[in-house]
Structure 1
Amino acid sequence: MEDSEKGVKGAKPISPTKQRQRKKTEVCNEVLKRLREAGNEAVDSPGFAEGIHAHFQRLPARYALDVNVERAEDVLTHKRLLESAKMSENCPVFHVRAVHVLPIALENADMNPSPTQEDTLGSLGTFRPSVHPPPAFGSSANLEALALEMIKPSHMDDDKDSSGNNSASKFPHMPMHEVTFSTLDKPKLLSQLSSLLADVGLNIREAHVFSTVDGYSLDVFVVDGWPTEDVQELQQALETALAGTEKRVWSRVCISSPHEPVPQAKTPDVDFLRIPSDGTDDWEIDHNHLKFNQKVASGSFGDLFKGTYCGQDVAIKVLKPERLNENLQREFAQEVYIMRKIRHKNVVQFIGACTRPPHLCIVTEFMSGGSVYDQLHKHKSMFKLPTLLRVAIDVSRGMDYLHQCNIIHRDLKAANLLMDEHEVIKVADFGVARVQAQSGVMTAETGTYRWMAPEVIEHRPYDRKADVFSFGVVLWELLTGKLPYDHLTPLQAAVGVVQKGLRPTIPKNIHPRLAELLPRCWQHDPVERPEFTEITTILQDIMKEVLEEEKKEKKGGGFFSSLKKPGH
C-alpha cells in the first residue's frame, strides 16, 4: 500500500471521502497537463481549470477512476454535453464517434512481436493500426473478448488477396461506435436509452453510466451493429429515432453543439393530478394532517419517511418537487390508481395520497421489519429453509392476487418485498406497475435489469409471466443470499440474459423440487413459465414435506434417546 493511503504513522487514517476527493484532484490535474501538452490553447484561459475541476466534482469518483486520461479531450466532450443538457432539460443531447477496440493480444503487441506474441497472433493475422480512438473508458475484458472472437480466421473466408496472403486473416474492418448521452436524470432512463439504440439496430456491448450531484446523467454506450463507420449517418438515424418516439418524455431532438445552446423546456403547471375515479375518492389526504417523524430512505426522485396519520404509524413516500415532470406525475397517478384498488394480506396496504402538487405523496402502512433485500445483503441474514419457504409463499400469494386483479408489477425484486412486525412479507412499490392491456401484452420497458425477463429487456411484447421470471431470480436470491450476476454490471447482465441465455447458477444441496422450480420460472419462452397459482401450490407442498421431515427427526431423536434410559 502506498504511503498516501497508509497516512503518517500515528496520524488519523484518511477517510474514504478524502481519498475520493484526492483521486478526483489527481485525475483532473493529469487531464489539464495532457491538454496543455497537446497544445490546447484554452487550458490557460481564465476559468478553464476551475471549470474542469467543477466537472469532476459533479460526477462520482468512479468517473475519475475509469476515464481514459490519455484521451483528455474526451473529458471536454463530456463536460460540454452536460452543459448542453442543462439548457435542454428533458431533451437528450448526444455525441457519436467511431471507436476502435483491440483484443489484449493485439493491443499489447508491437510491430516486432516476441516469439510468444507470434504464437498468440499467428492465427489472428496481420496487425493493422486504426485511425479511430479507443473508447473513452478504455477496453474492458468484454470488448477485448468480442474483438478476439470477431477476428478469428475460422469465422472468415479462405480467399487470398493480391499479395498471396489469407485476406481473412487480416485484422477485419470492425465498425464500433461510442454514443454518449446526457439529459436530466429520471426513472427508467437507462432502459429508454437502450431501447432507442435497439430501435436503430445497435447492439450494446458496454455501458458506463454516471449521475451528477445536480441530477443529470452521463451515459456512455459502446455499440456495434451499424454497417459502416459513417458517423453522420448514425447520428441522423438516432436523431430520427428520437424525434419519432412519442412515448418517451423528450419531445424534440437535441444534438450537442459547442456554439448553439438549446432553449430550455418548461413543464406545464398542474393544480392537481387527474386520477381515474369510481366515485369513492375517500383516499385523498390533506397534507397538513400528516406528521413526518424521520427520513427512512432517500432517492433521486423522492424520499421515504416514517410518520403518523390519525394516530397510525405510516410510511410516506414524497416526490421531490424540484424533480417533478409530466412523466413522473403520470407514474405517480398510475401508482395511486392501482394501490387504491387492491387489498390483500401480502400486499402493502394503501392508506391514502396527496395529489395536489407540489405536495405529492403516497401513504401506506409502515413495515417495521424493513426489506428482504436489507435482510439478505446488509444484515447478511440467511433464511433457514422453513422461513425461506414462508417468505416465498407470501410473495407468491401476493403476486397471484395482483395477477388475478390483472395487474403486472414489473419490478419484482427483494428490495420491493417488505416485512411487518409479525414477519409477514408484503409486495410493495407499484411505481412502475400497470394494469395489463386488454390485448394481454405490453411493450413499455421497465424494471431492474438483474431481475428483468428477457422479453422486457428486448422491448418485445410481454405479459404477466414477466413477473414470474423476476420471482425466479428472487427465489434464487433467497436461497443464496447473493446479488444476481454480482460480477457483472446491470447492463452486462441484461445483455448476457438476452444474447447468451445467462441465468443464475442453481445452488447445490437445495431441495430437489426447488431446483426444478427455478429453471421453470426463468424459461426464455414465457408460455413455459408456471402461473403463480401453481407456484404457490408447489411451495406449500415443499413446506409440508420439510415440516414433516423435521417432525420425524424430532420424534426419531426422542425414540432413540428413550432406548438409552434404564429399563429399556
Structure 2
Amino acid sequence: MEEALEDMGESSSPPKGFGPPGVFDIKYDIYARLLESRNEEELLNSDFREQFMAHFNRLPPSYLLDLNVDRAEDVLLHQKILTEAKDPEKRPVFHVRFIKLDDLNVDVRKNLEDIEDGSYLTEALSVRHDTFVPIHEIIFSTVDKPKLLSQLSALLSNIGLNIREAHVFSTTDGYSLDVFVVDGWPAQDANGLSKELEAAVARIEGSWSGSTHSSGADKILAMQPKIGDWEIDKRLLKMGEKIACGSCGDLYRGSYLGWDVAIKVLRSEHLDEASGVEFAQEVMILREVQHRNVVRFIGASTKPPQFCIVTEYMRGGSLYDLLHKHHNILELSMLLEFALDICKGMNYLHQNNVIHRDLKTANLLIDEHRVVKVADFGVARLQNQGGDMTAETGTYRWMAPEVINHQRYDQKADVFSFAVVLWELLTSKIPYDTLTPLQAALGVRQGLRPELPENTHPILSDLIQRCWEADPAKRPSFAEIIVELEELLKQVKSPEETSDERRENANDD
C-alpha cells in the first residue's frame, strides 16, 4: 500500500488532476482508505487509480465535497451504479440502503453501527418504539435530461417518502447521479423499499432511457391538422443571433414577413415524448390567446426536421435579467405597473381556463414601451382538459406548496407564484438564494416564505402574504389583486403619471 500511496505523490506535489490542495486532501484520504480495504491482487491492478481518477473527473467538484471520507466505499458504489446506467435495459439504476434511526424525542442520532448493537436497539425500542423514524438513502442514475429531478422527487413522493436531503450531480458524459436521504418508509427494510421503487419505476415505462425521439416527433406531427393557418413558411423565416439557451431548446432573434421575432427551436437531441408534449401544448395555447399582456404568437413550424415556435421579439428582455443581471432597484410606482401588467395577463389566461404553472420572472418579458407580457407556455394547461392536476410542474423557487406536495391544485397555484414574483420585484433578489432549489421546495412545504423588507408598503406586504397563503382558498384571485394594485398605484403616483397614460402613449407610438 505504501508504494501505491507514493505513486499518488505523498511526499511531493499533488499529481496532475487532483485539483487544488484542499481537494487533493479529500481525494488522497479517500484513495488511502480504499487501498486499505483492497487485497493485494486488487492493489496490483494498474487500472485502479485510473478508474478512481476517471470517476472524479466526470463529476463536478461539488461531488467531492459531498463525500464522507469515513465512507470511502461509497465511491466504489457510485462507480458501479454509473457503469450499470450505461445499459439502457437497466435504467434507471437505483440502490437503497438503511442509514439510521432518528429519535424524534431527543437530540440523539445513532449511526448504523451503533444501532446494530442489539442491547441498545432492544432497550430503545421498548421505551419509545413509536418515536424512531427509519432513514434510508436512495441513489439513482440514468441518462441526464431536463426535469429529471422533478420526475425523481415525484416518484419518491408518490410512494409516501419525504425527501430530507438531495444531492444532485451530472456527469460530463450525460448521466445523472442523484442521492436522496428520505424518511416515510415505516421499517428498517431496504429490500422492501427497493421492491416498491422497482414497481413505481415500472409504472413510468419509456421515460427513462432518453431514446424516445420518435414519440416526441409524433406528438408534434399529430397536431399539424389543428394548427392550420398558424403554420409558418420556413423559407421566409430568417434566423439571427442566438439570445438564450433553455433546457430543451435555443432561442434566436430573427425576422418573419417584416416582423421582428423570437424563434424558439427545439433541439433534436432533447426531442423526447415529454418535450414533444410541451411543444404541442404551448402552440395550442398560444394560438388561442391574444392579449396585450400575453406575448404575441406569430406561428410555428411542426414539420421535421426542425420544430420551432415564433413569437414577437421583446426588446426589453425578461424581468429576471432586469433585476438580477442588470441589478435594477425598482421604484414603487414602476413595480406596481409591472405587477399590474402581470396580473392583467394572468387574469385573462385564467378567464380562458389556462393555468400557467411556471410563473416566474424569467417568463415575464418587457417590450420597448416597458409593458410586461406573460410568456413560455410549455407547461401551461387548460383547466377543462379533464382530470385533477397533481403533477409537480414548474420551478421550485416559485412553486406553490400544493404543487410541491402533489396535491390537487388549480389557478390559485399561479397566485402563489405571483407572490414570489412580487417579492422579487421588491427586493431584486433571487428567492431563497442561500438554498438549493430542492431545499427551498422542502422549506416551502414546511411553511418557509421569503422575508419581506421592513420598509415594504403595508398594503403591498399584506397582499403578498395573502397571495402566498398555504391554503389556496385564502389567496385572492387575479381580478381581486388588480383592484387592490390599481388603488395602491393611485396613492403613490400623481394623476399625470398613471399607468393608463403610459399605455395610451404606447398605443400612439
Same fold (TM over 0.5): yes
User: CA offsets, 1:309-339, max 9 Å, x none?
Assistant: 2343221222221222112111111111111
Q: Determine the C-alpha separation between the residues in 1 that align with 2:218 and 2:128.
A: 67
Q: Determine the C-alpha separation between the residues in 1 that align with 2:130 and 2:413.
A: 42
The unaligned stretches of length 5 or more in structure 1 are 1-17, 104-120, 134-160, 252-263, 552-568
Q: Determine the C-alpha separation between the residues in 1 that align with 2:232 and 2:24.
A: 49
Contact 2:102–2:135 (Cα < 8 Å) also in 1: no
What are the residue-to-residue correspondences of 1:220-299 with 2, within 5 Å?
220-245=179-204, 249-250=207-208, 267-268=213-214, 270=217, 273-276=220-223, 281-299=228-246
How much has 1:88 moved relative to structure 2? 2.1
How much has 1:82 moved relative to structure 2? 2.4
Distance 1:237 1:517, change over 3 A: same
Residue 130 of structure 1: which of 106, 112, 115 is its match?
112
Corresponding position: 1:430 with 2:377: yes
What are the residue-to-residue correspondences of 1:45-194 with 2, within 5 Å?
45-88=45-88, 91-100=91-100, 130-131=112-113, 168=127, 173-194=132-153
Tell me which residue corresponds to 2:162. Answer: 203
Partner of 1:218, secondary structure, is strand
How much has 1:79 moved relative to structure 2? 2.4
- Percentage of identical aligned residues: 55
With 292-301 and 397-406 compared, the bigger mean Cα shift is at 292-301
Q: Determine the C-alpha separation between the residues in 2 that align with 1:531 and 1:321.
A: 39
User: CA offsets, 1:515-564, max 9 Å, x none?
Assistant: 1111111112211111111111111111111114999xxxxxxxxxxxxx
Residue 515 of structure 1: which of 455, 461, 473 is its match?
461
Residue 388 of structure 1: which of 332, 335, 343 is its match?
335
Distance 1:440 1:543, change over 3 A: farther
> Partner letter of residue 144 of structure 2?
D
Tell me which residue corresponds to 1:151. Answer: none
User: CA offsets, 1:33-76, max 9 Å, x none?
Assistant: 33112226546534443333333232222112222233222122
> Partner letter of residue 310 of structure 1?
L
Partner of 1:395, secondary structure, is helix
> Partner letter of residue 37 of structure 1?
E
What are the residue-to-residue correspondences of 1:429-448 with 2, within 5 Å?
429-437=376-384, 441-448=388-395
Contact 1:90–1:184 (Cα < 8 Å) also in 2: no
Contact 1:35–1:43 (Cα < 8 Å) also in 2: no
Contact 2:84–2:90 (Cα < 8 Å) also in 1: no
How much has 1:278 moved relative to structure 2? 7.5
Distance 1:547 1:67, change over 3 A: same
User: CA offsets, 1:343-366, max 9 Å, x none?
Assistant: 111111121222233312212111
Contact 1:25–1:53 (Cα < 8 Å) also in 2: no
What are the residue-to-residue correspondences of 1:451-462 with 2, within 5 Å?
451-462=398-409
Greater radius of gyration (CA): 1
Distance 1:427 1:215, change over 3 A: farther
Distance 1:362 1:447, change over 3 A: same
Residue 542 of structure 1: which of 480, 488, 500 is its match?
488
What are the residue-to-residue correspondences of 1:311-390 with 2, within 5 Å?
311-390=258-337
Q: Structure 2-normalised TM-score?
A: 0.84
Q: Determine the C-alpha separation between the residues in 2 that align with 1:187 and 1:404.
A: 30
Distance 1:344 1:545, change over 3 A: same
Residue 257 of structure 2: which of 295, 310, 329 is its match?
310
With 271-280 and 342-351 compared, the bigger mean Cα shift is at 271-280
Higher helix proportion: 2
Aligned length: 474
Contact 1:305–1:317 (Cα < 8 Å) also in 2: yes
Q: Structure 1-normalised TM-score?
A: 0.76
> Partner letter of residue 95 of structure 1?
H
Tell me which residue corresponds to 1:469. Answer: 416
Distance 1:24 1:267, change over 3 A: farther
How much has 1:512 moved relative to structure 2? 1.8
Q: Determine the C-alpha separation between the residues in 2 that align with 1:37 and 1:309.
A: 66
Contact 2:101–2:134 (Cα < 8 Å) also in 1: no
Q: Determine the C-alpha separation between the residues in 2 that align with 1:358 and 1:221.
A: 38
The unaligned stretches of length 5 or more in structure 2 are 1-16, 116-120, 498-509
Q: Determine the C-alpha separation between the residues in 2 that align with 1:188 and 1:90.
A: 20
Distance 1:405 1:124, change over 3 A: closer
Q: Determine the C-alpha separation between the residues in 2 that align with 1:88 and 1:231.
A: 24
> Partner letter of residue 448 of structure 2?
L
